[in-house]
Amino acid sequence: MMKKRINIWTNVLFVGFLCFVSIFNLFGKNKTFSDNENRFLQQFPTLSLKSIQKGEFSLKFELWVQDQFVFRDTWIMVNTAMNMAMGKIENNNVYFGKDGYLIGRFFYDEYKKVDSNIESINNFKYPAYVMLIPSSAEVNKDKLPNFAYNSNQKVLEDYIVSKLQSQHTPISISDALSNCQDCFYRTDHHWNLKGANVAYTSFIKALGDQPIEYLFKEVSTNFKGTMLSKSGVFWNEPDHLQSVELLENLDVKVTIGEQEYDSLFFKNRLNEKDQYAYYLDGNHPIVNIENRNNPDGNHLLVIKDSFAHALVPMLVPHFHKITMIDLRYYKNSVSEYIQTENINDIIVMYNMDNFVTDGNLIFLK
Amino acid sequence: MVFSSLTFLFVYFPIVLLVMKISPIKLRNFFLLLLSLIFYGWQEPVYIFIMIFSTVFDYFNGYMVYKYKDNRKVAFRFVLLSIIGNLLVLGFFKYFDFIIYNLQNIGFTSLKPLYIALPVGISFYTFQTMSYPIDVYMNNATLQKNVISFATYVAMFPQLVAGPIVRYKDIASQLDSRILSQDKFADGVFRFVIGLGKKVLFANMIGKVFDEILLLESNLTVALAWIGMIAYALQIYFDFSGYSDMAIGIGKMLGFDFLENFNYPYISTSITEFWRRWHISLGNWFKDYVYIPLGGNRFGIVRQILNIMVVWFLTGLWHGAAYNFILWGLYFGFLLILEKLFLSHFLKHLPKIVQHIYALFFILIGWAIFAIEDFGRMIFYLRSMFYLNKLPVINDLTIYYLRNNGVVFMILLLASTPLFKFLYLKYIKNRKVEWIMPFAMLLVFLLATASLVNASYNPFLYFRF
């Protein structure tokens, strides 16, 4: 008798759950964009004999079911929580660190790409400063969960510096950053202004100039960065984002493509998911900054990844012009650009994580 | 389509249950056939025609074998026709390109591969349809007059993609009448959800470990090489047996009883025993339709050894068109012969624990051969397992893998033994606490759904920027 009841319960729960979810999926409202993934979601595919025959329909149909699944974010959080309960210390290669830190795993097992990137820099005939920015896994070592494993970035930096040819000048910031508390976002892979400021001080001193004492002010308290998205820990406390008081009223002209702006900070970006783009509007092939307050200053060229966006605003008072080039998008000759413009200083500035994985440094020609 | 997809679980399967519920008994096979063909043709609709060909072809052969049942010679010709026809179909789709690559290597460079996409389940259903005329010939089955029933047997979606391989004689009677009941449905639900959990939760959770370890160079320590192989062994077991459980579970919900396909293979004390517990339906198929017709053990030891090697060469080749699978098959054939000749007698006198270690050791080495298609990589990996690459025994990365996956490893290792079943039978079944079972089932189903939704979560697109 009891067995009978248990079987009925089993069948009711199973069929009930199937129907409940299926019906919800069928009548749920379709979303167009996923902020966490930064991509458009699949919409219901068009049905035609041809699309069925080519297997296109079934493929897109399955993507549609996945992308528009009811309570999708909640399911993903359940999965993250389950992984935590199973004693995992990471999800999608993001460590569940202490004090709400979500720290990207840094791991490389071969030097091929590193060597090719060093070679690209060495083949570049213009003398440059080279700054390698350690990632959160190195700077926030004390926040990592026990037994987390990351490749040693200090060893890697020493290796790269030892191979660098003499026309270039390395600027090491790893020691200065290693004592830096709260210098990276907890939920994003980037450094924050405090971290960037440490590097700023080192660089300005290397140029023989006097660093300015900047004050920061809060502009956002709900920044949910890339590490939060990637880890699936959607319930993590969001980060705060800051601006630099002194730089807000500078008389600048920022040229991005055909557009010109009069600020280093882009307020409208604070309404979007990736608030880090508040600094210099995020990624572009080439960005020109002109500081009208310092017409006699030098022209600096920054070959960089996105880590530079938090740092470069602080450099602006020291120069007349700063040009940022992102080799992931800029495919023209950098040398030609240097010849046509009157460039005084060059800095190559890369985050370690990008330096060991990114293949675009070969475009440094 | 695969069972472990959201589309199957929350679109296709509810429709199947609904249609089966409302269709009249007489039309059930017809609807099941129709739904199965949709399942089959979901990705590659044109391949439905191969299946229909295979079905009609063997229906015809079976019919002719039956018609000439008093004239063994003629009947045998149709058996032969079926075998050759099916093997040609299988050979073309599965092995044509492999043969071309080999011919290219020995000088026929003008030959070009066709890059044929392997039709889903072709390795399974060609074996199944072939079994019908053979069964009729051997008087193990009677004639199936109804072509719809026969086609249902071939196309039936639960076992279509990854088995179990259902021999015609095992299911013949169920095609025409099968029992449906509340209790059987509940059994099916449990079986299906257990399988789903094994595949989606267990196998996927450990799946990343071997994939990552396989890519290591200077960090591939002795310990990591073994950890990787154990992870792969657990992954493939829970993946495959989970899929079989799902098939058996769905079968039950629809009224069918399929034979078991796995029986805790990793508790074996010998390789012979392992192959009686692993992918049972495939072993049975080769035994019934290759080993015994070749003469089995009836013509002396030399002939028996030859027969075993033929069976295991074919078993290896069946798993995939690549040399490592053939090597893997021959490797097991060789071990089985050794056990048959003297090793079993010797092992019997050793402590049980030594027998377990012996079996697991050779099973793991077998998986290394199976899992790593590239021979250079395979040798490197095997050498690492035995400290022949002179890489460290253990390092911090090893500790990390143990820390990050320790709990998962423990659970999966225990789950690959009958421990949980034992606990269930002893402390839960027919006791007051049994009421938790439906809720435990629902919990596993929920977690598996979460894991499947998460698999579609693809936040990698912009992280480098």
> Is the Cα dihedral A10, A11, A15, A18 positive or negative?
positive
Residue B412 has pLDDT above 70, yes or no: yes
Residue A66 belongs to a domain = yes
My answer on whether A30 and A173 are in the same domain is no
Closest alpha carbon within chain B to A11:
B186
CB contact under 8 A, A18 and B438: no
Tell me the shortest Cα–Cα distance from A264 to chain B, in angstroms: 19
My answer on whether A156 and A221 are in the same domain is yes
My answer on whether A327 and A247 are in the same domain is yes
Residue B2 has pLDDT above 60, yes or no: yes
Q: Hunting for tokens 């293979």 — which residue is that?
A: B265
Task: Determine contact, residues B302/B289, Cβ cutoff 8 Å.
Answer: no
Q: What is the DSSP code (8-state) at residue A244?
A: E
- Known catalytic residue at B319: yes
Residue A56 has pLDDT above 70, yes or no: yes
CB pairs under 8 A between A and B: 170
Tell me the shortest Cα–Cα distance from B366 to chain A, in angstroms: 27
In chain A, residues with a C-beta closer than 8 Å to the C-beta of B189 are 10-11, 14
Write out pLDDT tens, residues A253-263.
999 988 999 99
The pLDDT value recorded for residue B459 is 59
On average, the pLDDT of chain B sits at 87
In chain B, residues with a C-beta closer than 8 Å to the C-beta of A110 are 217-218
| A57 touches B: beta carbon within 8 Å | no
CB contact under 8 A, A9 and B435: yes
Whether ipTM tops 0.90, in short, is no
Tell me the shortest Cα–Cα distance from B19 to chain A, in angstroms: 14
CB contact under 8 A, A87 and B406: yes
Give the CA angle between residues B354, B357, B359 to the nearest 5°: 110
My answer on whether A62 and A186 are in the same domain is no
My answer on whether A157 and A291 are in the same domain is yes
Q: Is A1 exposed, middle or buried (0-12, 13-18, 19+ CB in 10 A)?
A: exposed
The pLDDT value recorded for residue B462 is 47
My answer on whether A53 and A135 are in the same domain is no
Q: Select the residue from A35, A36, A62 to test the B interface by mutation, using most B Cβ atoms within 10 A.
A: A62
In chain A, residues with a C-beta closer than 8 Å to the C-beta of B399 are 147, 149
Q: Distance (Å, rounded) from C-alpha B90 to C-alpha B321?
A: 11
**How many domains, in total, are found in chain A?**
2
Amino acid at A235: W
Percent of chain B at pLDDT above 70? Answer: 98
Residue B461 has pLDDT above 60, yes or no: no
Write out pLDDT tens, residues B209-263.
999 899 888 889 999 999 999 999 999 999 999 999 999 999 999 888 888 999 9
Task: Determine contact, residues B157/B39, Cβ cutoff 8 Å.
Answer: yes
Residue A84 belongs to a domain = no
Residue A336 belongs to a domain = yes
A165-197 burial, b for 16+ CB within 10 Å, e for fewer?
eeebebbbbbeebeebeebbbbbbbbbbbbbbb
Tell me the shortest Cα–Cα distance from A78 to chain B, in angstroms: 6
Write out pLDDT tens, residues A124-153.
889 999 999 999 999 999 999 999 999 999
In chain B, residues with a C-beta closer than 8 Å to the C-beta of A358 are 464
B454's CB contacts (< 8 A; 6+ apart) are: A75, A76, A79, A80, A232
Write out pLDDT tens, residues B189-215.
999 999 999 999 999 889 889 998 998
Q: Distance (Å, rounded) from C-alpha B40 to C-alpha B156?
A: 9
B358's CB contacts (< 8 A; 6+ apart) are: B269, B270, B347, B350
Tell me the shortest Cα–Cα distance from B411 to chain A, in angstroms: 9
The pLDDT value recorded for residue B79 is 86
Tell me the CA distances in angstroms from A30 to A37, A41, A44, A74, one per residue in order: 16, 9, 9, 16
In chain A, residues with a C-beta closer than 8 Å to the C-beta of B462 are 38, 226, 274
Write out pLDDT tens, residues A76-110.
999 999 999 999 999 988 999 999 999 999 988 77
The pLDDT value recorded for residue B460 is 53
The pLDDT value recorded for residue A25 is 84
Closest alpha carbon within chain A to B463:
A226
My answer on whether A199 and A315 are in the same domain is yes
- Give me the residue from B408, B430, B453 closest to A69, CB to CB: B453
CB contact under 8 A, B461 and A38: yes
Tell me the shortest Cα–Cα distance from A149 to chain B, in angstroms: 6
My answer on whether A208 and A309 are in the same domain is yes
In chain B, residues with a C-beta closer than 8 Å to the C-beta of A66 are 6, 453, 456
The pLDDT value recorded for residue A237 is 93
- Give me the residue from B7, B10, B185 closest to A18, CB to CB: B10
Least Cα distance to A290 among A317, A258, A327, A266 occurs for A317
Tokens coding B5: 């997809």
Write out pLDDT tens, residues B351-382.
999 999 999 999 999 999 999 988 999 999 99
> E strand or H helix at A39, and its extent?
strand A39-40
Band of residue B465 on the pLDDT scale cut at 50, 70, 90: very low
Q: Distance (Å, rounded) from C-alpha A34 to C-alpha A73?
A: 10
Residue A86 belongs to a domain = no
| A47 touches B: beta carbon within 8 Å | no
In chain A, residues with a C-beta closer than 8 Å to the C-beta of B464 are 328, 354, 357-358
Task: Determine contact, residues B272/B283, Cβ cutoff 8 Å.
Answer: no
| A288 touches B: beta carbon within 8 Å | no
Residue B458 has pLDDT above 70, yes or no: no
CB contact under 8 A, B462 and A22: no
Q: Give the lowest-confidence range in A264-268, A303-307, B24-28.
A: B24-28
> Is the Cα dihedral B384, B388, B394, B396 positive or negative?
negative
My answer on whether A244 and A290 are in the same domain is yes
Write out pLDDT tens, residues A179-232.
788 999 999 999 999 999 999 999 999 999 999 999 999 999 999 998 998 898
Q: Hunting for tokens 């009947």 — which residue is that?
A: B75
CB contact under 8 A, A22 and B404: no
A53's CB contacts (< 8 A; 6+ apart) are: B45, B46
My answer on whether A61 and A144 are in the same domain is no
Write out pLDDT tens, residues A274-288.
899 999 998 999 999
The pLDDT value recorded for residue A1 is 65
* Chain A from 107 to 126: CB within 8 A of any B CB: 109-110
Q: Distance (Å, rounded) from C-alpha A128 to C-alpha B33?
A: 71
CB contact under 8 A, A4 and B449: no
In chain B, residues with a C-beta closer than 8 Å to the C-beta of A2 are 434-435
CB contact under 8 A, A13 and B439: yes
Domain boundaries, chain B: 6-177, 184-455
| A152 touches B: beta carbon within 8 Å | no
SS3 of B234-251: HHHHHHHHHHHHHHHHHH
Q: Distance (Å, rounded) from C-alpha B32 to C-alpha B124?
A: 18
Tell me the shortest Cα–Cα distance from A274 to chain B, in angstroms: 10
- pTM of the predicted structure, to 2 decimals: 0.88
Catalytic residue among B319, B345, B349, B356: B319
Write out pLDDT tens, residues B168-192.
778 878 887 888 888 899 999 999 9
In chain A, residues with a C-beta closer than 8 Å to the C-beta of B438 are 6, 9-10, 13
In chain B, residues with a C-beta closer than 8 Å to the C-beta of A108 are none
Q: Distance (Å, rounded) from C-alpha A283 to C-alpha B463?
A: 12
Write out pLDDT tens, residues B273-293.
999 999 998 898 888 888 888
Tokens coding A292: 């009208």
Residue A103 belongs to a domain = yes
Give the range of the structural domain holding residue A44, as residue numbers without chain letter.
Answer: 2-70
Residue A92 belongs to a domain = no
CB contact under 8 A, A75 and B461: no
Least Cα distance to A349 among A241, A247, A212, A196 occurs for A196
Residue A91 belongs to a domain = no
- Give me the residue from A8, A67, A189 closest to B456, CB to CB: A67
Residue A85 belongs to a domain = no
CB contact under 8 A, B43 and A58: yes
My answer on whether A233 and A352 are in the same domain is yes
Tell me the shortest Cα–Cα distance from A210 to chain B, in angstroms: 31
CB contact under 8 A, B454 and A232: yes
